[in-house]
């Protein structure tokens, strides 16, 4: 979360990728860092070792698409702010 917050403060589009069991940690640490609304993408709790390589790939693709959506929405908000 330190990296995420630091990148955001430097104006670089950023998202913290967080496994669901660590959501509370991520949100509390972001708040401690002075950015409680830091961009965080929570991906669902799972056991990747028990998934097939194809399913892991599919999950990664889904997360990647969500990352792109969030970055694009950040860009739109920045554009409106200007």
Please report, as ranges, the residues that interact with other proteins according to CB under 8 A: 1-2, 21-22, 24-25, 28-29, 32-33, 49
Report in angstroms how near the CB of residue 62 gets to other proteins at its nearest: 19
68 phi, psi to nearest 5 deg:
-60, -45
Do residues 16 and 45 touch, judged by C-beta distance below 8 A?
Answer: no
Per DSSP, what are the bridge partners of residue 42? 18
Q: Which is closer to other proteins, CB of 12 or CB of 47?
A: 47
Q: Return the number of the residue (28 or 72) whose C-beta is nearest other proteins.
A: 28
Nearer to other proteins, 2 or 76 (CB): 2
Distance, CA of 27 to CA of 42 (rounded, Å): 10
Q: How far is the CB of 30 from other proteins (least distance, A)?
A: 10
Distance between CA atoms of 12 and 57, rounded to whole angstroms?
Answer: 27
């Amino acid at each position: 979360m330190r990296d995420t917050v630091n990148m955001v403060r430097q104006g670089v589009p950023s998202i913290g990728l967080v496994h669901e069991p660590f959501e509370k940690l991520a949100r509390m640490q972001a708040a401690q860092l002075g950015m409680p609304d830091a961009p965080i993408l929570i991906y669902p709790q799972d056991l990747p070792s028990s998934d097939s390589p194809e399913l892991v790939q599919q999950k990664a693709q889904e997360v990647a698409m969500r990352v792109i959506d969030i970055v694009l929405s950040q860009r739109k908000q920045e554009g409106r702010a200007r």
